[in-house]
A and B are shown apart, each in its own frame.
Chain A
Amino acid sequence: MNGNTTRTRIGAFGTIFVASAFAIAGGLPGLLAAVVVGVSWYALPSIVVFTIGQFALGALVSPEQTPLLLVIAEGGLLGILSGATAETNRSAQSTAFVVGCIALFAVGSWASYHWLDSIWRTTAVLAVAVTVGAYGLHRYERIALGLVTDTPPPDHE
């Protein structure tokens, strides 16, 4: 899918962080998960590696018991996900913007989970936020390009 963006330097560092966190936190299953993430990073697109890593993280790391390892692993996954952006956009500002926004969303969703105390509500809020944001950007682009006119649609009687 996204084959050209998987193996970046930032992604490599991220993979090392994730694999280390898994190995430390999960024992033998953690080692196995570390290998899977490493191989995935080599062979699969970054977005897929991120998803696999997120599932593995949920299975291996308990947030209450090992918050430091959780932060390291999530940081590594963030590196995997944003590595391609850093390589393609080349601008440090763009990369910082991408990383910052992802981190903000992740922290925000975690905070809303604790505030709402409900996973499905948190998921619903997230879905609404992404949908509204995507549609808003789409409309903004149409207007910026002058492709939206004030002409009312013709009457259909």
Chain B
Amino acid sequence: MHVTRRYWTALTLATLLAVAAVLLVQPLLVVGAAGIGAWLLVHQALFVRTVTRTNNGLSVTQSVTREQVIVDDEVTVTFDTELSRAVAGRVEVAATLPLGAESPSESGRQVDIEADGKDGGTTFTVGWPMAGRFEFGQPTVTVTDELGLFESTFPAEASKPLVTVIPRRPRDVHVGEGGEKVATAFGDHKTGDFGLGLDPGEIREYVPGDTLRQIDWKATARSTVPHVREFEEETDRRMAVLFDHRASMATGVTGETELEYARQVALAFVEYARSEREPLGLYTIGNEGITVRYRPTAEAESYSKIQTALYDLTPMDSSRSSSEQRREEAAEPRDIRRNADRLQDDDSPFGTNLRTFFATAETYVQHIADDPLYNTVRTQLAEIEGTVTAVVVTDDRNRAEVREAVTLASQHCGEVVVLLAPRVLFEQGGLTDMEAAYDQYTDFEEFRRDLAQMDGVAAFEIAPGDRLDALLTANTPGRATTTGDK
């Protein structure tokens, strides 16, 4: 119980009367002091009765719309209070939020029950800026008497909802082609061929065409039928992951960006390489060039280093270099050729003047030569000995440079795996207009297929599976064509 300024004022007046009574020898003033003292005591007794009645008769219910949310999501809380009987005085019941939760002002999550009132309720939203498990606290009840002399605050019994906030992270990582998931993208490549080598393989019956030196004489003697022993083909295959973490990879909501999804896929490649003890290298590509370089090696600790490097990667800031801006503005050669073809038959002054600019692709070549991804392929992959599987992880923002980089990689490497994040599936609000989004996705798919048709190149999409499903479902004939952003 706390006393207010009004209480102290009344007590001061009582003291004044008492002191004056002693000094002036006036017994009537003692009676006055006794009157005020009694007045304060009686109101205190009445207030205590109000408080105990409130405590005994108050029931508080607090419930949440969802018990599991993602970071930065909001939950609506319903907060209801009811007194078994009305009390004299003002009762305020405030919800106690867990630490780390965000809500509007305290008044927004407080219920006031005026004198003679019996119930009240409110709803408010709570934001969750951090992950964890959060339990609501006991609501706080504040009772004030009607004369404003006393105030008491105490906790109330109530249900305490528990909210689990999970961090934003890639969910339902889709790796596939044209919306279809594939399982072989995660580093699988053709291995286990039998041929010449040192490691013994299986023994099988002789078939015409096998050489004499392949015959396993011991097995032949045991079975009396000619048998040959095969040896596992030795391979010096190496894998090099080229991971793009330029500003465009930041597209998407926090925790579910292109980079986050790409990271998950790249980490799967690391796990695969570790399990197969396949030499693995990593080249991360920033706005101006390579930011991290680990040459392919099969040392145990190198996999951990690469994993750590991938976990540490963040998108570069969005300040674009001038060369990057030029690349974005550059058209692809096939566009240039198409436009040049159109101008061939145009004899107007407009066409004649423009033809000059389409006569050479030098500018385009210059732009591509400046590209960090292309440069990395050109300078780094060529240095790696043996058969290299290049894994290019990027998005579809700068298609011309991706195409040229992959073309060059396919010339250097035995196999190229391209993993592309379609921007339309990551942009916030990207699926607001489903038809437009589907057009963009179709365009992306065409680009992916172009890449996949190159020799030794396999191209896959990396996307949030739920958003891709929503896009494809909405554009399936017979379904709604426009829905909200999921």
Chain B residues, CB < 8 A from A90 = 88
CA distance A102 to B32 in the complex (A): 10
B52 touching A141 by the CB < 8 A rule? Answer: yes
Further pairs besides A54-B29, A113-B27, A126-B18: 8, Cβ < 8 Å: A58-B32, A77-B32, A104-B38, A110-B30, A113-B30, A119-B30, A130-B41, A141-B51
Question: Secondary structure of the B side of the interface?
Answer: helix
B88 touching A145 by the CB < 8 A rule? Answer: no
Given known A-B contacts A47-B36, A50-B35, A77-B35, A119 and B41 have beta carbons under 8 A apart: no
B34 touching A108 by the CB < 8 A rule? Answer: yes
The proximity string for B residues 141-173 relative to A, scoring 1 for CB distances below 8 Å and 0 otherwise, is: 000001110001010000000000000000000
Given known A-B contacts A51-B13, A119-B25, A137 and B35 have beta carbons under 8 A apart: no
Chain A residues, CB < 8 A from B182 = none
Partner of B36, one of A1, A5, A50, A89: A50
Question: Secondary structure of the A side of the interface?
Answer: helix
Chain A residues 101-157 with CB under 8 Å of chain B are: 101-102, 104-106, 108-110, 113, 119-120, 122-123, 126-127, 129-130, 133-134, 137-138, 140-142, 144-145, 147
Stretch at the interface among B42-50, B289-297, B466-474: B42-50
Chain B residues 1-35 with CB under 8 Å of chain A are: 1, 5-6, 9-10, 13-14, 16-18, 20-22, 24-35
A123 touching B154 by the CB < 8 A rule? Answer: no
Given known A-B contacts A54-B17, A137-B48, A109 and B30 have beta carbons under 8 A apart: yes
The yes or no answer to A81 lying at the interface (CB within 8 A) is: yes
A63 touching B41 by the CB < 8 A rule? Answer: no
Chain B residues, CB < 8 A from A113 = 27, 30
The yes or no answer to B39 lying at the interface (CB within 8 A) is: yes
Q: What's the least CB distance linking A119 to chain B, in Å?
A: 5
Partner of A123, one of B18, B39, B48: B18
The yes or no answer to B63 lying at the interface (CB within 8 A) is: no
Q: What's the least CB distance linking A86 to chain B, in Å?
A: 12
Given known A-B contacts A47-B10, A88-B147, A130-B37, A123 and B21 have beta carbons under 8 A apart: yes
The yes or no answer to B336 lying at the interface (CB within 8 A) is: no
A85 touching B31 by the CB < 8 A rule? Answer: no
Given known A-B contacts A130-B41, A133-B41, A109 and B28 have beta carbons under 8 A apart: no
The yes or no answer to A82 lying at the interface (CB within 8 A) is: yes
23 A-B contacts (beta carbon < 8 Å): A1-B5, A1-B9, A5-B147, A50-B13, A50-B36, A55-B17, A58-B21, A63-B27, A78-B35, A85-B42, A85-B147, A98-B42, A101-B41, A106-B31, A109-B33, A119-B25, A119-B30, A123-B30, A137-B41, A137-B48, A138-B44, A144-B51, A144-B52
Chain A residues 1-38 with CB under 8 Å of chain B are: 1-2, 5
Interface residues in chain B, defined as those with a beta carbon under 8 Å from any beta carbon in chain A: 1, 5-6, 9-10, 13-14, 16-18, 20-22, 24-46, 48, 51-52, 55, 88, 115, 146-148, 152, 154
Interface residues in chain A, defined as those with a beta carbon under 8 Å from any beta carbon in chain B: 1-2, 5, 47-48, 50-51, 54-55, 57-58, 61, 63, 70, 74, 77-78, 81-82, 84-85, 88-91, 94, 97-98, 101-102, 104-106, 108-110, 113, 119-120, 122-123, 126-127, 129-130, 133-134, 137-138, 140-142, 144-145, 147
Of B24, B28, B40, B43, most buried by chain A (CB within 10 Å of CB) is B28
Chain A residues, CB < 8 A from B43 = 85, 98
CA distance A84 to B149 in the complex (A): 13
Q: What's the least CB distance linking B150 to chain A, in Å?
A: 9
Q: What's the least CB distance linking B194 to chain A, in Å?
A: 76
Chain A residues, CB < 8 A from B28 = 54, 57-58, 61, 63, 70
